[in-house]
Amino acid sequence: METFLIRALQLMMSLSILVIVHEFGHFIFARIFKIRVEKFYLFFDPGFALFRYKPKNSETEYGIGWLPLGGYVKIAGMIDESLDKEQMAQPPQPWEFRSKPAWQRLLVMIAGVLFNIILAFVIYAMVLFTWNDTYLPLKNVHMGMEFSEVAHRVGFQDGDILLKADDKELERFGVSTLLDIVNARQVTVLRDGQEVIIPIPENFMNELMAAKEGFAAYRFPTVVAEVQEGTGAAKAGLRPGDSLVAINSVPTPTFADFKRELERNKNQEITIEFYRNGILNTTVAQVDSTGLLGFYPKSPMQIYQPVTIRYNFFEAFPAGIKMGIQTLKDYVNQFKYVFTKEGVSSLGGFGTIGSLFPPVWDWHAFWMMTAFLSVILAFMNILPIPGLDGGHVLFLLCEVISGKKPSEKFLEYAQIAGMIFLLALVLYANGMDIIRAIFK
């Protein structure tokens, strides 16, 4: 329950930041062009609001709604989710959105996306300045990778060290590396000291998505980092730094091997062989009903040799921009898979997004995830779907090119159709979360 609350709080805080910044982009550009903004709300407020405030002599009411599906600014004279037919039936006023030139309306509509992109750049820059960029080079993981069953079928073997995708050197493991691999014709790995070439099938990504088991993970030995009090590990006398190498005489050279043996011995007493200060020892421990002993292992970053790139304040900004652009490119490259059968079945809503946050509060992870979600929000909002900023941009570009403004009745119907589609998509995505939670 505590883990759920921490993730939910991180999700709510992150989305609130993104929504406020996005809507502030629309708000500030509307005010620059002297367009009246009637409301600025975090979350939607059908029926009532949790909080509302209108400063004296201000045209804008600020508030917090009760429905946490985003937020909005209500711009006078604009056909949006409010569908204010009464206002649109009145003659256009000079302070209204519809009275302004197309180029001004276009800038107002793209401002939200622009501010989300800028926010991502700034967050990435500040993360790099505060925490630097520490990563684990693939060549330093001397035990190689642990591959999924789908990857095994293609030809990868546990212990392979990833070297190249086609002619591109693979430096670190992450989304960019995975995309390089699935889009390559062949991957070069180091196996038993020899370079081996593995052909990659065209549908490799679809197979990975269908299997829902990922591509690979680091292989690393089981070294105790921390022992939890009162657990089987504590009662067995395990200490930080102990290297666990066997269970019931079955060798467990990697943490994945160790976990598999624990799974096979749930609720059982086991004999563990481990090294302490270079000396082989044995102890007896009780595995609990979930297949755990009660210790945290050292991570690959603690076992292998990571590399840290340090940035001063001024160096962090170009590096942050580069990281933001790479994140956007990776997401755009992945987006095509949404339209496959495997992609549709893997869609998720707030539960899936929340699970991306760590189970304990970690400011570095929180800001990295917030920057990532800011990039996603920008990209999704610019899609040419009525109801999103991209839908408005599409109609405005048509107006600029043709010189003819679409009728307000057409824009109203398009807005309604887009909102129905988006609502159905939200319901489907969150419904998939519920189904997965019930039948997992």
- Name the average pLDDT for the chain: 89
Residue pLDDT, tens place only, 327-351: 999 888 888 777 776 666 667 777 7
pLDDT over 60 (residue 164): yes
What is the location of CATH 2.30.42.10 in the chain? 222-298
CA torsion through residues 67, 71, 73, 74, sign: negative
Look at residue 18 and tell me whether its pLDDT is greater than 90.
yes
Task: Specify the pTM.
Answer: 0.85
- Among 103-112, 159-168, 202-211, 351-360, the range scoring the smallest mean pLDDT is 351-360
**SS3 labels along 324-378:** HHHHHHHHHHHHHHHHCHHHHHCCCCHHHHHHCCCCCCCHHHHHHHHHHHHHHHH
The answer to whether 121 and 324 have CB atoms below 8 angstroms apart is yes
State residue 81's pLDDT score.
59
How far is the C-alpha of 151 from the C-alpha of 364, rounded, in Å? 31
With 90 as the cut, is the pLDDT of residue 429 above it? Answer: no
H or E segment and range at residue 31: helix 2-32
Residue 403 zone, left/alpha/beta (φ > 0; ψ -120 to 50; rest): left
Which stretch of DSSP H or E encloses residue 309?
strand 307-309
pLDDT value, residue 77: 83
Q: How far is CA 337 from CA 178, 180, 278, 344, in A?
A: 14, 15, 49, 8
- The answer to whether 182 touches 204, Cβ cutoff 8 Å, is yes
- Between the two ends of the chain, the Cα-to-Cα distance in Å is 18
DSSP assignment of 108-128? HHHHHHHHHHHHHHHHHHHHH
Q: What is the domain class of 222-298 according to CATH?
A: mainly beta
* CA count, 13 A, side-chain hemisphere, 299: 4
Q: How many Å apart are CA 226 and CA 295, to the nearest integer?
A: 6
d(CA 26, CA 41): 12
Return the structure tokens found at 182.
Answer: 């699935």
Structure tokens at 54: 């209108």
- 193 has pLDDT over 70: yes
Task: Please check the confidence at residue 19 and state whether its pLDDT lies above 90.
Answer: yes
138-218 has which CATH code? 2.30.42
